[in-house]
């Protein structure tokens, strides 16, 4: 089904029958992606007083309890409430769901003991393009990103000036295939989060960061329409399902 979307007075056509899902699903157990030193997520039949919520165990329905943390276990989208004393809900801050997005591929650069994404790399990749959203795929881009255990792995991250550049550039929605835009152990500095949300100036209340995506190698760099949907949790972050549509 091909539909036409109006953007900056131009009509853009996308085929809704060809979605490119860049989310990582949640599953129970050790095979799920994980970060921040938590146990694996659990999906288990509810049990009480001899009742087991599983049809194969005699119940009329499958009735599972699910334990997880969105920041640790699944593709998630967060708002500035992730780092503020005041409560901010992603369900209240994200009210539009379709955006013009640029997909870029970046090879993090070695900086002392770390691998980082720099302002120079982002400037080169974006050039003069004006986009509402940016999708960053890092390389190497292996499928084990969907099940990798990131705790104590010191994965790549964005330098503060890179995040500030994106905010200045007008990127409202940043999506990345890492557990965080910041260094795993930074003493609580969270400099990239703070720079992207402009916490030293007028906070960008409606900007979002989506982490733990997976952009398959078959998806080419370039311009897409992004559909960014979150589960309606009143929380700083929520599981999300970003989907790209190629522009026809």
The structural domains of the chain, ordered by start, are 2-24+75-246 (3.50.30.50), 26-73 (no CATH)
pLDDT for residue 5:
78
pLDDT tens readout for residues 11-47: 889 999 999 999 999 999 999 999 999 999 999 999 9
pLDDT for residue 19:
98
pLDDT for residue 223:
96
Give the Cα separation of 243 and 207 in Å (integer): 18
pLDDT tens readout for residues 154-213: 999 999 999 999 999 999 999 999 999 999 999 999 999 999 999 999 999 999 999 999
pLDDT for residue 6:
77
pLDDT for residue 68:
98
| pLDDT score of 8 more than 80 | no
Mean pLDDT for the stretch of residues 215-224: 98
Question: pTM score, two decimals?
Answer: 0.96
Give the Cα separation of 93 and 77 in Å (integer): 11
Which token pair is 165?
């550049």
């Amino acid at each position: 089904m091909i539909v036409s979307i109006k953007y900056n007075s131009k009509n853009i056509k996308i085929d809704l029958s060809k979605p490119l899902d860049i989310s990582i699903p949640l599953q129970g157990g050790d095979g799920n992606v994980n970060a921040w030193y938590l146990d694996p997520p659990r999906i288990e039949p509810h049990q009480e007083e001899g009742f087991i919520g599983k049809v194969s165990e005699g119940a009329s329905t499958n009735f599972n309890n699910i334990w997880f943390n969105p920041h640790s276990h699944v593709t998630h989208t967060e708002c500035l409430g992730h780092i503020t004393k005041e409560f901010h809900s992603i369900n209240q801050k994200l009210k539009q769901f379709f955006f013009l997005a640029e997909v870029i591929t970046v090879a993090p650069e070695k900086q002392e003991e770390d691998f980082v994404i720099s302002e120079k790399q982002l400037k080169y990749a974006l050039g003069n393009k004006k986009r509402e959203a940016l999708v960053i795929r890092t390389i190497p881009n292996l499928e084990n990103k969907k099940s990798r255990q990131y705790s104590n792995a010191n994965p790549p991250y964005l330098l503060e000036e890179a995040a500030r550049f994106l905010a200045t550039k007008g990127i409202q929605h940043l999506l990345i295939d890492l557990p965080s835009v910041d260094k795993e152990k930074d003493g609580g500095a969270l400099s990239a989060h703070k720079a992207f949300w402009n916490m030293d100036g007028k906070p960008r209340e409606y900007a979002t960061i989506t982490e733990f995506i997976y952009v398959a190698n078959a998806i080419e760099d370039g311009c897409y329409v992004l559909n960014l949907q979150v589960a309606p949790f009143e929380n700083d972050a929520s599981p999300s399902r970003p989907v790209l549509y190629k522009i026809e």
